[in-house]
Amino acid sequence: MKLSNRINRVLIVGGTHGNEFTGAYLIKLFEQFPELIHRDSFETLTLLANPQAFAVGRRYIDKDLNRCFLRQNLDDAMLCSYEELLARNIDDLYGQNSKSSVDFILDLHSTTANMGVTILIDNEEPFNLQLAAYLSDVHPAIKIYSSGNSGRSQNALRSLGKFGIGIEVGSIPQGVLNADFFLKTQSIIYTILDYLELCNEDKLPAFSNTFILYKYIEAIDYIRNEYGEITAMIHPQLQFKDYEALNSGDPIFLRFDGQIIPYVAKLTTYPVFINEAAYYEQGTAMCLTQKHQITI
């Protein structure tokens, strides 16, 4: 299987969120030892995306950088927060309209949710599905999550590339390094770079063309009162159960007064990003997905 477009420049990004240390410190490693990510058929670049937020151990300074890449916002000269200006600069350096545009962006993240090692794709183009199938074959324990109609294909940093995916690992507390997930992320980065090299050289080996894909359906919020205050928590039976079946009638929230709130739906879903710390401000308690077996 051969890519229709040759990959010439790859950008590995960490620290898009300043308190997600896995990606940030991998970028520092690769800056110190660039030979680790060197491949003969393309150039590999690195970017510590939000250095000020990383320096103070915060997700962002003014606003979430990974929500700042909508084209109309990048073109709006009136937007002037730190992250908005940063996004514009990153677009000028690496976006498709720049002189040094990149073909593939790999954006590294960590989560407080129990996501294990997850590959994030923002659409189901053949390139993404083929890469997902290859990674599933080489690393059977990983999960593949498609953000679908969530808007991530338009406003995330990786949307600047001709192709782009993310790696999400957790559960990791914010501002903490976890050696196990650090090493797993590092290994998958090398697998992806090797894959791109094999594609460029038309030497990709045979691999299974079937894998499990979790497709985004919707995000749901916590239960709140008329003042917008949360009045219920993730139920203990659901906590840390990312990618596990959630059936109608299963407990989903627990009110502070002890009342259990059951999940009500016609279909079984598979929640992800359950109780993600960074999503409280976004009004997201979890994202619901459907589980599909994909054959490419």
pLDDT string in tens for the chain (296-residue length):
444 569 999 999 999 999 999 999 999 999 999 999 999 999 999 999 999 999 999 999 999 999 999 999 999 988 889 999 999 999 999 999 998 899 999 999 999 999 999 999 998 899 999 999 999 999 999 999 999 887 777 899 999 999 999 999 999 999 999 999 999 999 999 999 999 999 999 999 999 999 999 999 999 999 999 999 999 999 999 999 999 999 999 999 999 999 999 999 999 999 999 999 999 999 999 999 999 999 99
Task: Note down the domain range covering 221.
Answer: 217-290
Residues 132 and 114 in one domain: yes
How far is C-alpha 240 from the chain's CA centre? Answer: 18
Is 86 among the domain residues? yes
pTM: 0.96
Largest CA distance in the chain: 62
Is 102 among the domain residues? yes
Domain finish residue from 208, 228, 252: 208
What's the rounded Cα separation, in Å, for the pair 161 and 182?
24
Is 76 among the domain residues? yes
Domain finish residue from 167, 183, 208: 208
Residues 172 and 26 in one domain: yes
φ/ψ (deg, to 5) at 80: -145, 20
Domain finish residue from 161, 181, 208: 208
Residues 231 and 282 in one domain: yes
Number of domains in the chain: 2
What's the rounded Cα separation, in Å, for the pair 109 and 141?
18
Is 1 among the domain residues? no
| Beta-carbon contacts of residue 197 (< 8 Å; ≥ 6 apart) | 39, 40, 41, 42
Residues 184 and 158 in one domain: yes
Coil, helix or strand at residue 270: coil
Is 232 among the domain residues? yes
What's the rounded Cα separation, in Å, for the pair 82 and 102?
23
CB 271 within 8 A of CB 287: yes
